[in-house]
Amino acid sequence: MPFTLVGGKMFLAMVLGLFILQMALNLTWRLEEVTLFLGGAAMACLHVRFILLFVPFFAPLLATVAARWLPHYDRARDKYALNAVLMAGVIAAMVHYFPSKTFLDEKIAENFPTKAVEYLRQHGVRGPMFNNYGFGGYLIWSLGPEHKVFIDGRSEVYEEGGVLADYFHIMEIRPGALTLLRNYDIQSCLIERETPLATVLSNLPDWQKVYVDDTTVLFVRRAAQSPPHMALPNPGAPGE
């Protein structure tokens, strides 16, 4: 959980706020409620993705506390016509704003290396390949499990073996980053264009830029170029 970011601060405020309310109001909880809340908070602290579990575990507790200051439900005060209008408006908005396939394709192209994947399908680029953290899952999905990625979104899988730490070491160009690339025998790098690593590789004689577009760039180690019958294209190709 990145407590230095706004989301992390909000999470911490919710957890501490509940403990403060507990001390001030002397609230009583069932064992399963406390267990789920503490378990969800612990998992969210370990990996931010588990905030998806913390939220439904925390919501019932928050609702119980809020009920102390909210009026009780009174069926006689229900506004059936107004409720029907509101529900119809919500349904109409859902239908109107439901994303089309074209819209989804555009969003995918903005965030994932769709054009670079097409290039990889058409050209022989050797691995092992180093890739951006956010690209890994898309590469597996689009190229199949036979395409080995350096890392993907399952950070906890890579953390135990030290790969996650090495990934950040390389991406941030810390001392020894290029040595790590050699230790992993990395022969190609598919990364975002505006990154420190992309800037460094662009200026190294042993790396060749073979593909670039608005957001993505692909480098190949010159010593690992494809055989003559699979010659690499001009590095000034797509996007430049």
CA distance readout (Å), 67 to 61, 62, 71, 236: 10, 9, 7, 64
Q: Which of 66, 92, 116 is the last residue of a domain?
A: 66
Q: Is residue 240 part of a domain?
A: no
List the domain range (segments joined by +) for residue 21.
Answer: 6-66
Look-up: residue for tokens 């069932």?
A: 30
CA 120, 125, 127 angle in degrees (round to 5)? 115
Q: Same domain for 60 and 118? A: no
Least confident span in 143-147, 161-165, 188-192, 222-226: 222-226
DSSP 41-104: HHHHHH-GGGHHHHHHHHHHHHHHHHTTTSPPP-GGG--HHHHHHHHHHHHHHHHHHPPPHHHH
How many structural domains comprise the chain? 2
Q: Same domain for 115 and 62? A: no
Q: How far apart are CA 116 and CA 132, in angstroms?
A: 13
Q: Same domain for 122 and 11? A: no
For 164-215, how does the pLDDT look when each residue is reduced to its tens digit (9 = 90+)? 999 999 999 999 999 999 999 999 999 998 899 999 999 999 999 999 988 8
Q: How far apart are CA 161 and CA 179, in angstroms?
A: 18
CA 18, 53, 29 angle in degrees (round to 5)? 40
Mean pLDDT value across the chain:
86
Is the pLDDT at 136 greater than 70, yes or no? yes
For position 223, what pLDDT does the model report?
65
Q: Is residue 24 part of a domain?
A: yes
Strand order from edge to edge, sheet including 216-221: 129-131, 188-192, 216-221, 207-212
pLDDT over 90, % of the chain: 50
Q: Is residue 1 part of a domain?
A: no
Is the pLDDT at 145 greater than 90, yes or no? no
Look-up: residue for tokens 């399908």?
A: 121
User: What's the mean pLDDT in 14-33?
Assistant: 89
Q: How far apart are CA 88 and CA 99, in angstroms?
A: 19
Look-up: residue for tokens 């951006």?
A: 132
Is the pLDDT at 51 greater than 50, yes or no? yes
Q: Same domain for 210 and 112? A: yes
For 184-197, how does the pLDDT look when each residue is reduced to its tens digit (9 = 90+)? 999 999 999 889 99
Q: Is residue 169 part of a domain?
A: yes
Is the pLDDT at 27 greater than 90, yes or no? no
Q: How, if at all, do strands 207-212 and 188-192 pair? A: unpaired
Q: Same domain for 59 and 117? A: no
Q: Is residue 78 part of a domain?
A: no
Q: Same domain for 53 and 137? A: no
Q: Is residue 197 part of a domain?
A: yes
For 68-82, how does the pLDDT look when each residue is reduced to its tens digit (9 = 90+)? 888 888 888 889 999
Q: Between these two residues, 78 and 229, which has the higher pLDDT value?
A: 78
Q: Same domain for 221 and 150? A: yes
Q: Is residue 156 part of a domain?
A: yes
Q: Determine the angle formed by the axes of helices 31-46 and 51-66, rounding to 10 degrees.
A: 140
Q: How confident is the model at residue 147 (pLDDT cuts 50, 70, 90)?
A: confident
DSSP 168-206: HHHHTT-TTHHHHHHHTT--EEEEESSSHHHHHHHT-TT
For 108-121, how does the pLDDT look when each residue is reduced to its tens digit (9 = 90+)? 888 899 899 999 98
For position 228, what pLDDT does the model report?
39
CA-closest candidate to residue 111, choices 141, 130, 138: 138
Q: Is residue 84 part of a domain?
A: no
Q: Same domain for 62 and 112? A: no
Q: Same domain for 113 and 179? A: yes
